[in-house]
Amino acid sequence: MKQLLIFCAIATAVWACGGAESSSDTPSSQPAAAAPAKPDGKKIYKQYCVTCHGLYGDMGASGAFNLTTSALTMEERIAVITKGRGAMTPFENLLDADEIEAVAEYSLELKVE
C-alpha cells in the first residue's frame, strides 16, 4: 500500500510538472507571432486630418483641399500626406509608411462619385 501511495505521488508530480511545461511562456512554446494589425486609416484621419479637412473631407479649413472631389491617385495621395503641400503639414515624421497608406486609402472612401 505504501508503494502505491509513493507511486501516485510521483505520478502526480510528474503530471503536474509536465502540464506546467506546455503552458510556460518560453519562446519555444509560443506560437509564431501574428502579423501586426493593419493601421486604422479612419482613426488616424480623425486624429490628424479632421481639423482642416473635416469629418467628411469637405471642410476646407486653412486652404485644405476637398477630398470628396479630389482626383488624386493613391500614389499622389501618399506623396501629399508624406511630404505635405501648400499649408499642409508633411506627416513623414509623424506617421510610418503603413499609417500614411492607411490614411490615403481611407481618403479614397470620402470621394463622392
Each domain of the chain, given as residue ranges in start order, spans 41-109
pTM: 0.69
Radius of gyration of the chain (CA): 28
C-alpha of 58 from chain center: 26
Name the DSSP letter for residue 95.
S
pLDDT tens, residue order, the chain (113 aa): 666 667 656 766 666 666 544 444 555 556 667 778 999 999 999 999 999 999 999 999 999 999 999 999 999 999 999 999 999 999 999 999 999 999 999 999 999 97
Provide the angle, in degrees to the nearest 10, between the axes of the packed helices 41-48 and 97-109: 90
Name the DSSP letter for residue 27.
G
Task: Provide the grid cell at 83.
Answer: 511630404
Class level of CATH domain 41-109: mainly alpha
